[in-house]
Amino acid sequence: MLRHLAVSVSIAFAVLIAAAPAFAQQLRGDRELKLLAKWMTGDWDTFAQVDEDEESDAPYRHTRALLRVVAVTVTGLGDGIALYVENQQADSRSKPYRQRVYFLTRIDGAIKMQIFRIGNAEEFVNAYKKPKVLRTLDSTRLTREAGCDLKYVRDGGVFRGKVENAKTCPSKLRGATYTYSESEIGPDRWVNLDQGFDDAGNHKWGPPPGTVGHVFRRRR
């Protein structure tokens, strides 16, 4: 058990060391951007929320999920901070259900988060703990999800973000035509709400209107 813990700590330390120079280089001169990236980075899970759903017999049950976020250097994206993001279901950690690169930047003075799909994403499974694999990630592998940028503003002790025009972020899942996204990020709590709607405004997937999004709490 102690040997396994030592190996896990060594891997986590290696990832942080590998990412640190690039992370520091990208963060100069923008304290808010730096803070938002710092809060995003780390390991998160929804386990407490799922337990609360079960205890209260909630009509909508959130997914028992893990969220891993690490800084990464991606050439060709411009000025900003790039993060590799991997979502996993708790019972299927070797097959992430979502892998993206988030790119935090300033546009017209506002903090924007651009979202990129990763080509051949299977090559990067569990890359959050594989610094050598992350170093192979470059902009030629990325496709931007056009129309899906989130704009973030500081609101006291959290950052609040949402897609500026939901109908510009397309979706084909379960009969939806567009995706609405919003999030609230603090030092130890990250709420993500993603919902799909059709052109008539009918809800097609994600938490129903009026339901809180997935609440991730920091693991470490």
Q: What is the pLDDT of residue 9?
A: 37
Tokens, residue 218? 């920091």
- Give the type of residue at 156: G
Q: For the residues of 3-58, what is the DSSP string, one character each? A: HHHHHHHHHHHHHHHHHHHHHHHHTTT-HHHHHHHHHH-EEEE-HHHHHHHHHHT-
44-51 long-range contacts (CB < 8 A, ≥24 apart) are 44/68, 44/69, 44/190, 44/216, 44/217, 44/218, 44/219, 45/90, 45/216, 45/217, 45/219, 46/214, 46/215, 46/216, 46/217, 47/90, 47/217, 48/215, 48/217, 49/214, 49/215, 49/217
CATH tag, 2-218 = 2.40.128.590
155 Rama class: left (phi>0) / alpha (psi -120 to 50) / beta: beta
Q: Which residues of the chain have a pLDDT value below 50?
A: 1-25
Q: What is the pLDDT of residue 28?
A: 61
Q: What is the pLDDT of residue 152?
A: 98
- 111: three-class secondary structure by DSSP: strand
Burial 115-149 (b: 16+ CB within 10 A, else e): bbebeeeeebbebbbbbeebeebebebbeeeeebb
Q: What is the pLDDT of residue 84?
A: 97
For the whole model, what pTM was predicted? 0.86
Q: Which residues pair with 218 in a beta bridge?
A: 44
Strands (DSSP E) contained in the chain are 42-45, 65-71, 81-89, 98-107, 110-118, 142-144, 150-155, 158-163, 178-185, 189-197, 203-205, 214-218
Q: What is the pLDDT of residue 22?
A: 47
Q: How far from each other are the two terminal CA atoms of the chain, in whole angstroms? A: 19
Can you give the residue ranges of every domain in the chain?
Answer: 2-218
- Give the type of residue at 207: P
